[in-house]
């Protein structure tokens, strides 16, 4: 049995980067800053997110830098050959299947309430 599930809650690091293909497919790329549970003064962990189709459209319309979101998806690795050295390179990316907008109206986010594992 194999399991590849990633669930993260954090703040978006920049406005969405949207790309539209002639086939009608849409992809959205985001970065997500996630604080560690220890609440120490460490810097957040940064994750690259990739959203497709309807989920990408929602992100493009409603997600902005600083917005708190929750995502559920799977870990994949993008690989390529370095142009200068020819060495094989890779970077981890979270392929997002589910997106939830968080925050409260008082935050100016117009959010959808608290995130809990039972609701996600």
Write the DSSP assignment of 70-117 as a string of letters.
Answer: EEEEEEEEEEEE-TTT--EEEEEEEEEEEEEE-B-GGGTS---B---G
CA torsion through residues 6, 9, 15, 20, sign: positive
Domain coordinates in residue numbering, the chain: 6-109
pLDDT in tens, 31-46: 999 998 776 677 899 9
Mean pLDDT to the nearest integer, 23-36 = 95
Burial class for 96, CB neighbours closer than 10 Å (0-12, 13-18, 19+): buried
Mean pLDDT of the chain: 87
Name the residue among 37, 28, 34, 31 with its Cα closest to residue 12: 31
pLDDT in tens, 98-116: 999 997 655 554 444 443 3
> In this structure, which topology does domain 6-109 adopt according to CATH?
OB fold (Dihydrolipoamide Acetyltransferase, E2P) (2.40.50)
Burial 61-93 (b: 16+ CB within 10 A, else e): eebeeebbbbbebeeeeeeeeeeeeeeeeeeeb
CA separation, residue 113 to residues 31, 90, 100, 106 (Å): 22, 36, 9, 11
């Amino acid at each position: 049995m194999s399991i590849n599930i990633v669930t993260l809650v954090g703040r978006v690091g920049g406005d969405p980067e949207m790309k539209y293909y002639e086939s009608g497919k849409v992809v959205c790329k985001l970065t997500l800053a996630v604080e560690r549970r220890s609440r120490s003064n460490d810097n957040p962990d940064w994750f690259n997110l990739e959203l497709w189709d309807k989920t990408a459209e929602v992100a493009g319309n409603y997600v902005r830098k600083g917005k708190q979101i929750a995502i559920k998806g799977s870990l994949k690795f993008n690989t390529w050959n370095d142009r200068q050295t020819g060495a094989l390179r890779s970077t981890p990316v979270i392929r997002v299947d589910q997106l939830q907008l968080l925050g409260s109206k008082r935050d100016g986010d117009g959010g959808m309430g608290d995130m809990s594992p039972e609701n996600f």
